[in-house]
Amino acid sequence: MGKHKYSLANHPEARQRALWLIRDYPNIKAKVDELDGFGGGSQDGGPRSTQPHSSTENAAIKRAELSRQLDVVDKALAAIPEEYRAGIWENIQHRARFPDYAGLKTWKRWKQRFIWLVAYHAGFI
């Protein structure tokens, strides 16, 4: 077990999945926005497969799953103090240096907690 509650030392796969979910946030948001304008398209009424399906239903299911992923990241980010959110976000998204108004240990502690919260709420651990 790790040193404290928010350690992912024993769950390296969960840590990587959480990081990729965070890094993919802008792309997921764009997909959700694209699905918001889903209009169904034109169809000639002919079946496309032997399975009954609805393209509107499929789009709604996909949108719900993507929205859930966005909510996981948003919820974890909301648990971080506001003064650290932007610095942690930029560090994970763009590998930017942390701002100088807090110590490196403080930044790493809040970043680790953010990643753990994403992994926990996403069900990776």
Any idea what DSSP says for residue 99?
P
Residue 118, class by beta-carbon neighbours within 10 Å (0-12 exposed, 13-18 middle, 19+ buried)? buried
Q: Are 8 and 2 in contact (CB under 8 A)?
A: yes
Domain ranges of the chain: 12-35+56-122
Supply the pTM of this predicted model. 0.82
| 64-85: pLDDT as tens digits | 999 999 999 999 999 999 999 9
Contacts of 36 (CB under 8 A, 6+ apart): 63
Measured CA angle at 68 (ends 66, 70), to 5 deg: 70
**Look-up: residue for tokens 């069900």?**
123
pLDDT tens digit string along 95-121? Answer: 999 999 999 999 999 999 999 999 999
